[in-house]
Amino acid sequence: MAPQGVYMAYFRHLINACGGAAKLTGLTTADVCHQFLMPLTKATELSVVDHLWRDPNTRHFVAEANWYVSHAWQYLFLETVDSLDAFFALQGIADEDAVLWFCVFNINQHGASMQPTATWLTTFEDALRDIGRLIMVMHPWHSPMVLRRSWCVFELYVATRVHARFEMAMAPQQRRQMLDDMLDGRGIRDMLGHIRSEASATSIPADRDAIFALVRAKTSFATLDRLVFATISHWIKETLRVHIEMLPSRQRRAQSWVRLGNLHEAETKWADAADAFATAVDLYTEVLGPEDDATLAASSQYVSMLAKLGRPVCEWEPRFQAILAAQEAKPENTQAVAATLYRFAVAYEDLRMAGRAIELYSACHEARVRLAGHLHPSTLETVVRLARTNTWAGDLTQADVWVREGMTIARRHGMTLHPTAVPLYSIHAAGAYSRGRPAQALRYISIAHAYYSRVFGADHEETLDATINVATSDRLLRRTRASLARLRQLRDTFPRRKDYPVAWAYTMFSFGATYYGARDMPAAFKYFELWFDLRHVGPISRAAPSMLYHALQYGDPTQNETKRWRKLRRYNASTDDRPETWPVRLCNGCHQPLRGACYGCEQCPKAAYHFFRHCVDSGDARAFCRHRPSVLRCVPPLSRYFLEERLRRFMGSHAAFAATLAAYDDYCTTHKVPNDEKLPRVLMGAAVHLRTWHPML
């Protein structure tokens, strides 16, 4: 049986008994306890609930509790009451149906300080288990004080253990603030940056130690945080949907659809976000017209979702250009222009179009600096993107500049574990990979991975990418077993594969590269072929054919007419890749796109580091590999290889041989193939003089 509690009506009775709301204005729950409740119960020295039950005149306020309230004693008491009132009103629960277990009323405050920690742990857990429903009062909405108190974290922990229903209560003014914060898309990110239950505290250190030991033994703080994030997200979406239905104004409904789109976008649910933004655009267009600032801003958000959904460039690029032109025609629209420039740049970045992305990010950054200054938090978003784009474009020096600026901004504003800043750790790791420092990369990517796992959970795109990159670090450190274990877990539990095709394709590559590095060629071929079949999924998968080819050079160099080689032959005949190139892959020495022969060490993990001929000759490759230069192996580009293979296997007329050789010589001249990389004549096939008569005649 559940413990007793008080009806919601008792809160209003108490307020009146204390002299009305004016008397309690500005008082915290702790103040109300000490100034009113303890004097009220002094004669009996009982809890408020027991005190009320003993008196026949007040017994009607007490009944079996059906809601457990989690709150912070530092909250304003009246704001807590308003939050509970608003919650039950939204739920359609009448006063006579809401009976609350409220620690200030249920715990005997006269002897509370004498009780050991174990007593409170048992009391709270038993009450919550028996009641089965938890309401957590969340103020302020994006950084709730309740989650900074370890006892409230314990209540959340118990709720997860006993599978209690978990709900949130928010005062009307907090709800309005939340809706306002959601309008520009940053509100949800700020919330994700502030909530961290492991940073909670208690007034008595021993209480915190006992609570933390329980949480770590039975679950994790990451699990608790994810529960909060999921509940807040669900609550906001439901609030917005109800809010939209109640709004008489189409313009205000459009605003709420933008808020809902921002929430879906934060969860990487691109299709849902696109639908929400499209609805907002339609409503704004009806009310304000197509050229209004609000219509253009929502249109920019909608078009960016088309790009995220993989629509053709011709479908979104002209629309972005038209939106920008309309916004730039209004000089006062600097902030809106910056937002569209940013979204336009993201679309190019997703396609690995570095030049256009950097150009637009730079213009966006300049606009935001003019508005707020270099070190304002609003500039951090573009700084991070510039760091990332320069990294994969191979300009690590410039990327380092942006990473340093980003970390300066993050530290200054206490944002080092804010979702806007966390990608800096991944970018730092990518730079360390490129410079041949896998141990350093692992340190940085582990920070990002821990954050994404805690905030988003295992099935979020950012977490998936970070997991793969941790496995990559293990691979480069020759921790093959650890790398494969992480990848297998990812593969076997891969969430919503259709929703994250790029991450799935990258997982196939990571498997192939790990097996390749361990020289398990059958397994490497299996996964590289799976990746090859996904080569149209995301820009990075354009490297799949060249990686399969590279592995075949080591594991099946005879080029028997196997299925794999036939796949590559057909690909080479149909591709529009430029000759002598290795799509998407950079030289580890100069960090420029690989061109010409690819050099790699025979004794290092396969697929670890690759170099230009220039970087081999200059000695830059020695910074990555201390093995003898003689163990460097040269692999020609795919297009050159098939030309040379035709010459190796040539059997035909002298005229045909001469034409084939001339084509090869022209190719080598055009693409400046070094003489010592050209196929020696002695390795070429034979030209056969075709006879028109029988040899025995």
DSSP code string of 33-69: IIIIIHHHTTTTT--HHHHHHHSTTTGGGEEE--EEE
Write down the pLDDT at residue 60.
96
Smallest CA-to-CA distance from 628 within 605, 590, 602, 609 is with 602
Q: Which two tokens mark 157? A: 């922990």
Calpha distance 337→349 (Å, rounded):
18
Smallest CA-to-CA distance from 69 within 7, 161, 119 is with 7
pLDDT at 216 over 70: yes
Q: Range with the lowest mean pLDDT among 182-186, 192-196, 228-232, 272-276?
A: 182-186
Report CA-CA distances (Å) from 115 to 101, 110, 111, 540, 669. Answer: 19, 11, 7, 60, 88
Tell me which of 691 and 322 has the higher pLDDT.
Answer: 322
pLDDT at 495 over 70: no
pLDDT digits (tens, 9 = 90+) for 627-679: 676 678 889 999 999 999 888 888 888 888 889 999 999 999 999 999 989 98
At residue 581, the 3 state secondary structure works out as: strand
Q: Which two tokens mark 93? A: 């629960």
Strands 598-601 and 632-635: what pairing? antiparallel
Tell me which of 314 and 615 has the higher pLDDT.
Answer: 314
DSSP codes of every residue in 2-41 = PPEEEEHHHHHHHHHHTT-HHHHTT-BHHHHIIIIIHHHT
Band of the pLDDT at 25, cuts 50, 70, 90?
Answer: very high
What φ, ψ does residue 162 adopt, rounded to 5°?
-100, 5
Find the farthest-apart pair of alpha carbons in the chain and give their distance in angstroms, rounded: 133
Band of the pLDDT at 530, cuts 50, 70, 90?
Answer: very high
Mean of pLDDT values over 95-101: 93
Q: Angle formed by the axes of helices 438-456 and 221-246, to 10°?
A: 50
pLDDT at 296 over 50: yes
Write down the pLDDT at residue 557.
62
pLDDT at 171 over 50: yes
Give me the helices (H) in 649-694, please: 654-670
Is residue 170 within 8 Å of residue 243, measured between CB atoms?
Answer: no
Smallest CA-to-CA distance from 569 within 561, 577, 578, 558 is with 561
Tell me which of 687 and 12 has the higher pLDDT.
Answer: 12
Write down the pLDDT at residue 43.
92
Q: How many Å separate Cα 257 from the centre of its chain?
A: 23
Mean of pLDDT values over 528-533: 92
Smallest CA-to-CA distance from 598 within 562, 639, 656, 561 is with 639
Q: Which two tokens mark 99? A: 């009976």
Tell me which of 480 and 490 has the higher pLDDT.
Answer: 480
Strands 581-586 and 593-595: what pairing? antiparallel
Band of the pLDDT at 239, cuts 50, 70, 90?
Answer: confident
Write down the pLDDT at residue 691.
44
Q: Range with the lowest mean pLDDT among 361-365, 384-388, 596-600, 627-631?
A: 627-631
Calpha distance 100→103 (Å, rounded):
9
Q: Which two tokens mark 667? A: 């190719």
- Total residues found in the chain within this entry: 697
Write down the pLDDT at residue 446.
96
At residue 168, the 3 state secondary structure works out as: strand
Q: Which two tokens mark 192? A: 């994700």
Tell me which of 449 and 603 has the higher pLDDT.
Answer: 449
Helix then strand then coil, % of the chain, to nearest 5:
65, 5, 25
pLDDT at 686 over 70: no
Calpha distance 693→125 (Å, rounded):
101
pLDDT at 692 over 50: no
Q: Which two tokens mark 174? A: 């907090």
Q: Which two tokens mark 626? A: 């201390």
Tell me which of 562 and 269 has the higher pLDDT.
Answer: 269
Query: Exposed, middle or buried: residue 13 (CB in 10 Å: 0-12, 13-18, 19+)?
Result: middle
The fraction of the chain above a pLDDT of 90, given in percent, is: 51
Write down the pLDDT at residue 496.
54
Band of the pLDDT at 205, cuts 50, 70, 90?
Answer: confident
Amino acid (1-letter code) at residue 396: L
Beta bridge pairs of residue 172: none
Calpha distance 250→302 (Å, rounded):
18
Smallest CA-to-CA distance from 650 within 661, 666, 636 is with 661
Q: Which two tokens mark 36? A: 């009113």
Query: Exposed, middle or buried: residue 676 (CB in 10 Å: 0-12, 13-18, 19+)?
Result: exposed
pLDDT digits (tens, 9 = 90+) for 273-294: 999 999 999 999 999 999 999 9
Is residue 130 within 8 Å of residue 122, measured between CB atoms?
Answer: no
| Residue that has been written with the tokens 């796992």 in this structure | 453
pLDDT at 621 over 90: no
Calpha distance 525→16 (Å, rounded):
77
Band of the pLDDT at 694, cuts 50, 70, 90?
Answer: very low
What mean pLDDT value characterizes the chain? 88
Calpha distance 128→122 (Å, rounded):
10
pLDDT at 442 over 80: yes
Q: Range with the lowest mean pLDDT among 329-343, 449-463, 558-572?
A: 558-572
The fraction of the chain above a pLDDT of 70, given in percent, is: 95
Report the Cα–Cα distance between both ends of the chain, in Å, rounded: 111
Write down the pLDDT at residue 199.
84
Q: Which two tokens mark 501? A: 């095709």
Beta bridge pairs of residue 167: 135
Calpha distance 696→25 (Å, rounded):
119
